Amino acid sequence: MSDVEKWIEPWRIDLANGETLGDSDIRELESHLREEMEHLKVLPLSDEEAFLVARHRLGDTAALEREFRKINPHGRLRQRLSWGIMGVLLYFAVITFAHAASILSVRFVLMGGWHGYGRYVGQLEGFVRIAAFVGALIALWLYARHLSRRSASRSRDATAAPTLAAAVLAVGTVAFVAVRILATQMVWRGVTIDPRMMYRYTELEFQVAASVLLAGSFIVLHRRSRREVQSQP
Amino acid sequence: MAISKDLVAASATGLILSILAEGDSYGYSIIKRVRELSGGRMEWTDGMLYPVLHRLEKQGFIGSYPARSETGRARKYYRLKKNGTKALAEHRDQWMLVHNTFQRLWENRPCLT
pLDDT one-digit tens code per residue, A12-53 = 888 887 777 877 888 899 999 999 998 888 888 888 888 899
Cβ proximity of A77 and A85 under 8 Å? no
Full-model pTM = 0.61
Cβ proximity of B80 and B19 under 8 Å? no
- pLDDT higher for A32 or A102? A32
Res A85 pLDDT > 90: no
| Angle at CA of residue A155, ends A152 and A159, nearest 5° | 115
Distance from the Cα of B107 to chain A's closest Cα (Å) equals 32
Residue A201: what pLDDT? 52
Buried b (16+ CB within 10 A) or exposed e, B33-69: bbeeeeeeebebbbbbbbbbbbbbbbbebbbbeeeee
User: A110-127, pLDDT tens digit by residue?
Assistant: 776 666 666 666 677 777
Least confident of A88-102, A197-211, B64-78: A197-211
Which chain A residue has its CA at the smallest distance from B87's CA?
Answer: A233
Residue A118: what pLDDT? 60
Q: Please list every residue in chain A whose beta carbon sits closer than 8 Å to the beta carbon of residue B58.
A: 71, 226, 229-230
In a mutational test of the B interface, the residue from A32, A37, A55, A225 whose CB has the highest number of chain B CBs within 10 Å is A32
- For A31, which of B54, B55, B74 is closest by C-beta distance? B74
CB atoms within 10 A of CB A7: 19
Res B62 pLDDT > 90: yes
pLDDT band at A146 (very low <50, low <70, confident <90, very high): low
Q: What is the ipTM of this complex?
A: 0.83
- Kindly report the three-state secondary structure assignment for every residue of A114-134: CHHHHHHHHHHHHHHHHHHHH
Residue A153: what pLDDT? 45
Type of residue numbered B51:
P
| Angle at CA of residue B33, ends B28 and B39, nearest 5° | 125
Res B20 pLDDT > 90: yes
High-pLDDT (> 70) share of chain B, %: 94
High-pLDDT (> 90) share of chain B, %: 54
Cβ proximity of A36 and A57 under 8 Å? yes
Q: How far apart are CA A96 and CA B10, in angstroms?
A: 55
pLDDT band at A77 (very low <50, low <70, confident <90, very high): confident
